[in-house]
Amino acid sequence: MICRDRVAIVTGAGRGLGREHALEFARQGAKVVVNDLGVSLSGEGGSAGPAEEVAAEIRALGGEAVADRSDIATDEGARRLVTTAIERFGRLDVLVNNAGFLRDRMLVNLSEEEWDAVIRVHLKGHFLPLKHAGLHWRAESKAGRPVDARVVNTSSGAGLLGSVGQSNYSAAKAGIVGLTLVAAAELGRYGVTVNAIAPAARTRMTEQVFAETMAAPGEGGFDAMAPENVSPLVVWLGSAESKDVTGRVFEVEGGRICVMEGFRHGPATGKGARWDPAEIGPEVAKLLGQAAKPEPVYGA
């Protein structure tokens, strides 16, 4: 058990990927705070059922878990979530930010409310739990108590490469990568690593949008899109074994793990003076000819 006696918070843990993360943490010996509002795919309504059911499932396996319905996109809710872990289990070692929902629409048809709702739950819903967990770990470190903590954020291929009809979701998931890089740099001094995953799996958010890709295989075949395939990497990133890995983004699906490489300095040119606009076109053409092709290629 690589997470024995560690305490993990998993947001959005009532269904899909979050549920599998929570269960695998429990199987690996962690005590789990199962956070979920129980909302619909579009973020409406709410129910205590999903979080309570997963917590009960963990206890039935012989593990320790508590259900939590804090709204992690509010400052008070995020603070209360972190407090719940500390008061119930005496410590906090792992934060897995996973909660989210969709409001898909083509860019020109997307409403301001649909934009705000998705940015709020994904991006703000990562920032606030991370902030309050970070405050706790900073206080522990400054008090001379050793910290060996982990944060696993959830980005997406949509945030890394774009996804037609998901401009709000893609923007939020790209923002999570930026947040991950900054948090890794800022919190490392306190004994905290921060990484992100970009998972591909069959969940409520993907099984209809990408129905063909997410379809289950025939009997006996490996189900590459099963959400439980993602959780082993998340749990390893939450363990003490991953202490030397931070500021990274991993694409994960089925039995495949890929380290994603984001913006890097590529081909460059200079003349030691201000450019004339008429000079720019040929120079940019040269640079693009030397640069790696973008993924994916649109409009080809």
Which residues have a catalytic role annotated?
Answer: 156, 169, 173
Query: What is the pairing mode between strands 7-11 and 192-199?
Result: unpaired
Tokens of 45: 């309504």
Handedness of CA 285, 289, 291, 292 (dihedral sign): positive
Sorted by sequence, the CB contacts under 8 Å of residue 298 that are 6+ apart come out as: 162
CB-based contact 263:292 (threshold 8 Å): no
Residue 189 three-state SS: helix
Residue 112 CA, distance from chain mean position: 24
Cβ neighbours, 10 Å, residue 64: 16
For residue 249, give the H/E element and its range.
strand 249-253
* Rounded Cα distance, 116 and 111, in Å: 9
Cis previous bond, 296, omega within 30: yes
Q: Is 194 helix (H, G, I), strand (E, B) or coil?
A: strand
